[in-house]
Amino acid sequence: MRIATWNVNSITARLPRLLAWLESSGTDVLCIQETKTTAEQFPTEELRELGYESAVNATGRWNGVAVVSRVGLEDIVRGLPGDPGYEGVEEPRAVSATCGPVRVWSVYVPNGREVDHPHYAYKLQWFEALKAAVAGDAAGSRPFAVMGDYNVAPTDDDVFDRTVFEGSTHVTEPERAALTALRGTGLTDVVPRPLKYDHPFTYWDYRQLGFPKNRGMRIDLVYGNTPFTKAVTDSYVDREERKGKGASDHAPVVVDLDV
């Protein structure tokens, strides 16, 4: 079974590449982030023609997540129970579903903006809600993973130059402590293996030749419970999909399972 996560940075802009990638990659389940569309505008029919069902949590031009599956789609939960909301609004940042033998969450963690910004406090509160929401499945016997754009680089090795991010979000100790607490529910970071690159980044800014210079970050993560990680046979970042005209600024992270 092949599952993946991908921040597409607008599913409307990326649809031709997304459909072609699903066909060529043989992916069974894809967790999508930053759809930037409404649920009504989500390309459900185009995906159905390829054999995929869709579970969508999206409300407009910002945020938005989905799970698409060709191996079944059951027990869908849209939104994060206990979501703290931002400025009184619950943003569409999480959706979960059971896909065949595996249950997954597709998550788009708040960016945080700046350390002294209210959005940063919201980010940490959102992590607490996520931890509470996934704890039961994380400790269970069914293969389970929380996949998506976490907007946190777990270690200094996960950014191209730590000094560039001094005083910025994505690398602060409270954010990394939130990741540690999430893993404490029984989850493990499924690091790409074998490592096909010295630094398996997943995001490169469009500006300043970020991708050609490999000025990237590893912020798209797959956190799996013990039954999930034991089933992993391979994982990798599909850097090829970051290349060329019309690419997202994120690359898909792919995980193969023997389940």
pLDDT in tens, the chain (259 residues): 999 999 999 999 999 999 999 999 999 999 999 999 999 999 999 999 999 999 999 998 899 999 999 999 999 999 999 999 999 999 999 999 999 999 999 999 999 999 999 999 999 999 999 999 999 999 999 999 999 999 999 999 999 999 999 999 999 999 999 999 999 999 999 976 555 566 689 999 999 899 999 999 999 999 999 999 999 999 999 999 999 999 999 999 999 999 9
- Could you give phi then psi for residue 224, rounded to 5 degrees? -115, 155
Q: Spell 75-96 as b/e; 16+ CB within 10 A means b.
A: eebbbbeebbebeeeebbbbbb
Rounded-to-integer distance, Cα 245 and Cα 110, Å:
27
The answer to whether the Cα torsion of 19, 58, 130, 250 is positive or negative is positive
Query: Active site residue: 28, 149, 220, 256, which one?
Result: 149
> Is 108 annotated as catalytic?
yes
Which residues, in sequence order, are CB contacts of 109 under 8 Å at separation 6+? Answer: 93, 123, 126, 127, 130, 148, 149, 150, 151, 152
The answer to whether the Cα torsion of 235, 224, 118, 13 is positive or negative is positive
Q: Which residues are annotated as a binding site for Mg(2+)?
A: 7, 34, 149, 151, 249-250
- Domains of the chain by range and CATH? 2-257 (3.60.10.10)
Rounded-to-integer distance, Cα 149 and Cα 206, Å:
17
Residue 175, pLDDT score: 98
Q: Spell 24-63 as b/e; 16+ CB within 10 A means b.
A: eeebbbbbbbbbbbebeebbbeebeeeebbbbbbbbeeeb
The per-residue pLDDT for range 151-173, each reduced to its tens digit, is 999 999 999 999 999 999 999 99
> Is 199 annotated as catalytic?
no
Query: Active site residue: 83, 170, 250, 256, which one?
Result: 250
> Is 250 annotated as catalytic?
yes
- Could you give phi then psi for residue 149, rounded to 5 degrees? -90, 105
Rounded to two decimals, what is the model's pTM?
Answer: 0.97
Query: Active site residue: 52, 108, 120, 236, which one?
Result: 108
